[in-house]
Amino acid sequence: MSLWLAGDAGQVALARTAGPGLRAAVDQHAAEIRDALGGQVTTSCLLSYARGFTEAAVGRGWWPPHRRSPAAGLDLAGLDWESLRLAAVCQLYLQAQGLAPDM
């Protein structure tokens, strides 16, 4: 369930970050994830990271913005910090699969 939720939230968030300001935020999250993984940006490492991140976020009461009613703490695209982080995981995953250009 947590990987499905991570993928769902990440894909929706990635689609909503087409503008340069939000894309820069996703790129910053991606750089932090690369650092957290010690440069081991493989699909299995990213899936493990996404699962752990999502389980911890849900444990703190987080739920994807597109799956709940509007709430405080969201930017203009309806994204919160967790959603931007999962967008970055999805971006890195696509890059690791060769499905998106490296940024």
| Predicted pLDDT of residue 22 | 87
Distances (CA, A) of 84 to 33, 46, 101: 12, 15, 19
| Predicted pLDDT of residue 58 | 95
Average pLDDT, consecutive stretches of 10 residues, N- to C-terminus, the chain (103 residues): 88 86 91 95 96 96 80 61 95 90 61
Q: What is the 3-state secondary structure (H, E, C) of 19-70?
A: CHHHHHHHHHHHHHHHHHCCCCCCHHHHHHHHHHHHHHHHHCCCCCHHHCCC
| Predicted pLDDT of residue 51 | 97
Model pTM score: 0.86
| Predicted pLDDT of residue 70 | 57
